[in-house]
Amino acid sequence: MRLRDPVLMEKREIPQYQRSSSRLRRSGSARIVPYATSDWLVGSAPMAFPATRLRRLRQSEPLRAMVRETRLSPASLVYPMFVCPGEGVRREVCSMPGVFNLSVDEAVKEARQTHTLGVPAIILFGLPEKKDEVATGAWAEDGIVQQAARAIKREVRDVVIMGDVCLCEYMSHGHCGVVRAAHPQSLGAAVAVPAAISADYEIVNDATLELLARTSVSLVRAGVDVIAPSDMMDGRVGAIRKALDQAGLINTPILSYAAKFASGFYGPFREAADSVPQFGDRRSYQMDGANLREAIREIELDIEEGADMIMVKPALPYLDVIAAARERFDLPLAAYHVSGEYAMIEAAARNGWIDRDRVMMESLTSIRRAGAGIILTYYAKEAARLLG
């Protein structure tokens, strides 16, 4: 027995990367590749119904678990935490039920509980007391994340602390880099587009690199184990790697947010981290969501600059990017199940529209199945409890 003529069933491949069987190889141009005829032959007896009944292996949960192809483990999860000034502070984020702004003492408790559940790593984001034009709170010795890292390491020595390296939480304007006025406009253009709403500014790439490097060294000296730059400035991995090496911190790994897309799914995070841009948006440095090939280029460049691990963010809307990165690169691959993804599940569950735990685990499993070996998720603790 043969299925429909495979020659008539064509598969359009992604330009530059042509899939052959399960491998992804370079290709000079877009091609239309017909499925191989042999791949569609189902004439042998063991492949045909009724001899083959795939439901046989779905009869019970123990049987389904035994043949399960993709498995989640608490060891693959990273729990994000937002640290703020004060003492005894545990303030819930309105758009992210179950997620809190935590003072340093509360962050220590949260880190201990997370580690007890079998989740090996946390990633810290900071809310400073003051913001300015040079992100002082990001690189100061007594910065909020630096304080939290020291305190957590004293109490929970084995937890892996990742430090998010970005400047948006610490900048008065909420952007991820140094801002300066763009080239002067003509008088006519200035009148046509008032300054209050014009895009008359630019994020200065190379000046930002110095602050990112300075922040990275400060965080590691405070006890952070892994540096995770999320700013999306060109060249930042190389700048950070150089600064760490010059400071004698040659063994500190870098987890690069290599393919971070300009996404509408970040809204709740910006409430949690108080990092909403005061003007404009981040599309001049974060990636266009339509571009897969550019994502591969971004990852390649970060690896060349010294990244030890790579990340795709967000996760669920970009499973194809995760899969392509897994096929193309051998480095450890992470994905960030971001705030908007979390908030949607929580909102639907609270309205009784979905089974929260089931959808949570299905979402995380899909990210793992796409190829991510490390998942940053606000569900790390809940997932670890269910996984046992």
pLDDT digits (tens, 9 = 90+) for 107-153: 999 999 999 999 999 999 999 999 888 899 899 999 999 999 999 99
Mean pLDDT of 202-223: 94
pLDDT greater than 50 at residue 61:
yes
- Alpha carbons 257 and 230: distance in angstroms, whole number: 5
Per-domain residue ranges of the chain: 1-45, 74-387
pLDDT tens figures, 238-261: 999 999 999 999 999 999 999 999
CA 301/CA 351 separation, integer angstroms? 44
Q: Is 260 a catalytic residue?
A: yes
CATH class for the region spanning 74-387: alpha beta
What pLDDT is recorded for position 190? 42
Per the annotation, the verdict on 130 as an active-site residue is no
The residues that bridge with 160 in the sheet, in sequence order, are 121
User: Would you state the pLDDT for residue 188?
Assistant: 46
How far apart are the C-alpha atoms of 125 and 163, rounded to whole Å? Answer: 7
Q: Picking from 65-69, 184-188, 222-226, which range would have the lowest pLDDT averaged per residue?
A: 184-188
Cβ–Cβ < 8 Å for 153, 174: no
For residues 58 and 64, is the Cβ–Cβ distance under 8 A? yes
Instruction: Answer whether residue 196 shows pLDDT above 70.
Output: no
Residue 4 clears pLDDT 60, i.e. is over it: no
Q: How far apart are CA 236 and CA 139, in angstroms?
A: 15
User: In this predicted structure, which of 28-42, 115-129, 203-217, 302-316 has the lowest mean pLDDT?
Assistant: 28-42
- What is the C-alpha to C-alpha distance for residues 318 and 292, in angstroms, rounded to an integer? 9
Q: Are 36 and 27 in contact (CB under 8 A)?
A: no
Q: What is the pLDDT of residues 273-295, one digit of tens each?
A: 666 777 767 778 889 999 999 99
SS3 state at 167? coil
- Give me the pLDDT at residue 44, please: 52
* Residue 179 pLDDT: 83
pTM comes to 0.83
pLDDT per residue as tens digits for the range 295-325: 999 999 999 999 999 999 999 999 999 999 9
Return d(Cα 89, Cα 92) in angstroms, integer.
Answer: 10
Provide CB contacts within 8 A for 373, sequence distance 6+: 76, 332, 333, 334
pLDDT, one tens digit per residue, over 180-192 is: 877 654 444 443 4
**pLDDT of the residue at 220:** 98
For the chain, the average pLDDT equals: 86
β-bridge partners, 12: 32
What's the CA angle centered on 209, arms 208 and 214, to 5 degrees? 100
Choose, from 130, 153, 242, 313, the residue flagged as catalytic.
313
Q: What is the 3-state secondary structure (H, E, C) of 197-260?
A: CCCCEEEEHHHHHHHHHHHHHHHHHHCCCEEEECCCCCCHHHHHHHHHHHCCCCCCCEEEEEEE
Q: Which helix (H) or strand (E) holds 259?
A: strand 255-260
The residue annotated as part of the active site, out of 131, 153, 260, 381, is 260
